[in-house]
Chain A
Amino acid sequence: MHMANELLSVPVAAGTLGIAAAGLGLICRKARTIVTSDKLALMGILGAFIFAAQMVNFQLPAMPGTSGHMVGAVLLAIILGPNLGAIVISSVVIIQCLIFQDGGLLALGCNIINMALVPSYLGYFIYKSITNARSYTPLRFYIGAALASVISIEAGAALVPIEAALSGVLVVPFSTFLITMLGVHLLIGTIEGIITVAVLGYIKQVRPDILAEIIPGKIRLTKKTVLTTFLILAVIIAAGFSLLASDLPDGLEWAYAQRPDQPDFSPAVENKNPKINAVDEFQAKYSPMPDYSTRTAPIGQTLQQQKELAAGWTSFAGVIGSLLTMAFIYIFAWGLKKTKRQEELNSN
């Protein structure tokens, strides 16, 4: 589910980075009152645990050769509470980006929202509303944990195509991408639910004291937090549905509402995105059959053709120039190393 840079446009990446940073900042400020110095070590080590837990794979049923692994956001939210859980999972996502390069640097905001913030809070909210202190039964505890895992993973997965569609980079129709993501992550979420319940069951058997502190807790989410969460989710879902709605009439056309090849076609949506315009322009420029008619002039003689050839030469020059620059830098660095070694030899 790690998104790459290429799935996003710069405004969406900046926006989501901003939202993630603001969210994390708020959570950290809030957590300052809860966190004691001994909690710091626990949080850090549980983060490392999540890392290691994601390496434990196991065979999936029905599909030989595939294996699943745990994600662990809901498990952490249950053990640490949503605030600390969100901080730990966010730090895992950041390390995955920086050290292991899962997901791009620009997509970090999206990845934190999809995999840390939404699963932690949504998962914890679902878990808590099913398992509340007054009517606690072990069955409810397990059902709550399982449902929280499935729904929170689905919610995070649904955000991926929405963010990509908002960026306008989708080649695949939006609904296809959404359905694929939801389908695949339903399976992942179910596995996650099963394994979360199994781990909680194991801990309950072996070290019941770890879970004892958690179960009789009260709902720690205030009404305000819940309302804000729902508001944000509503906005995101509304944005997603409006895209889906405009997607329904004719597949990809929403991105190409302004069609240069049909001058009479009055666009329903005026699209001012420079990238999309650039693509259209490109198509108009290089299309072998502009305006659905074959070229009247022979190749190599029209102004258009001359322009095209000139563009070809510019790009050729650009590539050669870049390669030469890189060669120069390489030789320069090599020379630098050599003189340094010489100096070291001389000083010795």
Chain B
Amino acid sequence: MHHSYIDKFSYQNSIIHRLDSRVKVITVLIYTAMVISLPKTYLTVLTCYLVGPFALLVLGKIPLKFAFKQVLLVSPFILVLALSSPFYDRASLTVPFGPITWQISRGWLRCCVILAKFVITMLALIALVSTTRFSALLHGLQKMGVPKILVIQLGFLYRYIFLFIDKVQHILQARAARKMRNLGFKKETKVAAAMLGSLLIKSINAAENVSIAMQARGFDGHFRTLTKSKIKANDIIFALVAVSLMIFLHFIIRPVMT
């Protein structure tokens, strides 16, 4: 079955894809923190902060349409949060912008700022995961000190999620084909419980088989890989560029524009 998951571009090859995952994770984390710490009522400065994720996406050859579509997909919750602010904060403001000046309530301004911050941080996250293979990301995380059990757990999870999503879609399709109306809460719950219970039993059986198969192949709780992640010249250049961009934004653009 068809899945729309966001790391489908992570197997491409580009300058950004070839970078070490640790450098990218740390850069995106710091960048996100910088965006979040911006004042709540300055909208225009956020456009400058859009440059970073945009550069990553474009240089990483990620289609912009795909990235914005992903942002839209996850936006409903934040939309509710953002749209609640105009109701609580009606103080009116005059915002000059170049040749134009207009009036806006502070609530709406804050709403726009929340949405803009959301778009930028999400684009940064999309840029990270769609330019880094999940296995490389995990390897980097382990190098940065994430416990091994958690890393193995994440690796297993990533391997089996799509298999199980497939299984559950089959089950859901079967229910949709047989159930033509609302059955009432009691019957609905019973059906859902049977679906979940059988899925749980299936997964426990699958786990038994998988662990027998893995032990037969000599698995003793350690993954041994050939890849050695080393910081290369490219990574250092990328880190320097990112740091200078962040310094420029934080110490020059931010004080001037706010």
A195 & B204 in contact (Cβ 8 Å cutoff): no
In the complex, how many angstroms separate the beta carbon of A274 from the nearest chain B beta carbon?
8
Contacts of B99 in A (CB 8 A): 316
Pairwise interchain contact B50-A326, C-beta atoms closer than 8 A: yes
Chain A positions 28-53 with a Cβ under 8 Å from a chain B Cβ: 28-29, 31-32, 35-38, 40-49, 51-53
Q: Which of B40-62 contact A (CB under 8 A)?
A: 40-42, 44-45, 47-48, 50-51, 54-55, 58-59, 61
Give the distance in Å from the alpha carbon of A37 to the alpha carbon of B41 in the complex.
52
Given contacts A195-B189, A315-B97, A326-B50, contact A45 B195 (CB under 8 A): no
Residue among A14, A87, A315 having the largest count of chain B Cβ atoms under 10 Å: A315
Contact A52 B164 (CB under 8 A): yes
**Whole-angstrom CA separation of A91 from B160 in the bound complex:** 13
Please list the residues of chain B having a beta carbon within 8 angstroms of any beta carbon in chain A: 5-7, 28-29, 32-33, 35-37, 39-42, 44-45, 47-48, 50-51, 54-55, 58-59, 61, 70, 73-74, 77-78, 81-82, 84-85, 88-89, 91-99, 101, 106-107, 110, 114, 117-118, 121-122, 124-126, 129, 134, 137, 147-150, 152-161, 163-165, 167-169, 171-172, 182-185, 188-201, 203-204, 206-208, 210-211, 214-215, 219-221, 253, 256-258
Residue of A199, A318, A326, A337 touching B257 (CB-CB under 8 A): A318
Alpha-carbon separation in the docked complex, A58 to B258 (Å): 49
Nearest Cβ on chain B to A324's Cβ, whole angstroms: 10
Interface residues contributed by chain A, number (CB under 8 Å): 102
Q: How far is the CA of A53 from the CA of B202 in the complex (A)?
A: 12
Pick the residue among A61, A98, A100 that contacts B185 (CB under 8 A): A61
Q: How far is the CA of A14 from the CA of B193 in the complex (A)?
A: 39
Q: Which of A43, A106, A202, A282 contacts B193 (CB 8 A)?
A: A202
| Closest A residue by C-beta to B84 | A172
B153 touches A55 (CB 8 A): no
Contacts of A9 in B (CB 8 A): 36-37
Report how far A325 CA is from B48 CA in the complex, Å. 9
Q: Which residues of A are interface residues toward B (Cβ below 8 A)?
A: 2, 4-10, 13-14, 24-25, 28-29, 31-32, 35-38, 40-49, 51-53, 55-61, 64, 70, 87-88, 90-92, 94-95, 97-102, 104-106, 169, 171-173, 194-195, 198-199, 201-203, 206-207, 210, 252, 275, 278-279, 282-283, 286-288, 308-309, 311-319, 321-323, 325-326, 329-330, 333, 336-337
